[in-house]
Structure 1
Amino acid sequence: MTAAPADFASARSEFLTIDTPRVEDGAAIWRIARDSEVLDLNSSYSYLLWCRDFAATSVVARDETGGPVAFVTGFLRPDRPETLVVWQVAVDHGHRGTGLAGKLLDALTSRVAASQGLASVETTVTPDNTASDRLFTSYALRHDVALEREVLFDGELFPEETHLPEVLYRIGPFHA
């Protein structure tokens, strides 16, 4: 990656701390995802597991009380361990419009790059999710890397008849 690794444990932004999620954060993260009204909501159990098993590839923003107000969940692709797949990004309503999602994404990718190397980032975005499109497009521009888009899953593959296609965003390769 082009950016130097941030001091992850002490990264702060306007009374917010960027931190590693803990199992105790699972319920709050589930609520933030539910209240986003755009994410596919997973079971509350899955968010608890995510905080346990994928904490090293996920981040939360905490307010002054220590409660989560935003998160990014991710994992490393088993067949491409230098590719971080961003699963979900959500920011509580009261903290939107502040650039927090971009700060979380930068902090997460800096941490993953520093700890195990990072060649690229992947995520999927539905065509109607302009906020996510802007987030990942600006991320690629900020880091001066390529962004490729292609349909990964057609809408007809989903059991619900109204699901839009999931477009794969491939970001990278990052410069050494």
Structure 2
Amino acid sequence: MQHPRDLARTSIPNLRKPAAEDGPAIWDLVRACKPLDENSIYCNLLQCDHFADTCVVAELDGEVVGWISGYLTPNADDTLFVWQVAVSERARGLGLGVLMLQSLLNRDVCENVQRLQTTITADNAASWGMFRKFARIQGGTLDSEPHFLQSQHFEDRQKTENMVTIDLASERMERAA
């Protein structure tokens, strides 16, 4: 009998914009992907409804196995902020996070995006690895600095979030030329 993860390796994920009906499945996925912060189902519903153009759902055999929530920053529409990346255990090791990020950048709404930003805690090795791989594939540079501090912003309830910035400008300009 094949392990469910091996089955995922033989399937091609369907990457698409989310719909409001995806909210509960996304909420379940995020809850299963520790240490991600759990938002309310309502928050995920709003992300699917209001920010569908900058979010992506990955499905395998009709099951939601990947999710990225993001948005164009209000004061810099050339920056895509990635709020959360979740990949189910079934789909890990497939490079799905990088595929979802690339699919977002390929959308018309991200045509002017020159940088991608996200925040990552120092101990989240999986996220660091994925974003470093993405930067390398994109030919971009990755920089980071402490942004939301454990003591100052989280009152010691959560670890410091480092602002990660991937400069995509040179690679995207070359492709456009």
TM-score range, shorter chain: 0.7 to 0.9
CA shift, 1:154, in A, is 0.7
1:68 aligns with 2:64: yes
CA shift, 1:159, in A, is 4.4
How many residue pairs match? The answer is 162
Q: Distance in 1 between matches of 2:44 and 2:30?
A: 10
TM-score, with structure 2 as normaliser: 0.86
Please point out which of 50, 61, 71 is paired with 2:47: 50
Larger RCO: Structure 1 or Structure 2 (Cα < 8 Å, ≥ 6 residues apart)? 1
**What residue in structure 1 maps to residue 98 of structure 2?**
102
CA shift, 1:161, in A, is 2.7
CA shift, 1:160, in A, is 5.7
CA shift, 1:112, in A, is 4.9
**What residue in structure 1 maps to residue 130 of structure 2?**
135
The one-letter code matched in structure 2 to 1:107 is S
For structure 1, which runs of at least 5 residues remain unmatched after alignment? 1-12
**What residue in structure 2 maps to residue 79 of structure 1?**
75
1:31 aligns with 2:47: no
Q: Is the 8 A contact 2:119 2:163 kept in 1?
A: yes
1:89 aligns with 2:85: yes
Pairwise CA RMSD: 1.6
User: What do residues 92-123 of structure 1 show as CA deviations (whole Å, max 9, x unaligned)?
Assistant: 1111111111111111112256x542110000
Q: Distance in 2 between matches of 1:154 and 1:161?
A: 9
CA shift, 1:158, in A, is 4.3
TM-score, with structure 1 as normaliser: 0.86
**What residue in structure 1 maps to residue 3 of structure 2?**
none
Q: Distance in 1 between matches of 2:55 and 2:108?
A: 9
Q: Distance in 2 between matches of 1:94 and 1:68?
A: 10
The structure with the largest alpha-carbon Rg is 2
Q: Is the 8 A contact 1:57 1:112 kept in 2?
A: no
Q: Distance in 1 between matches of 2:153 and 2:108?
A: 31
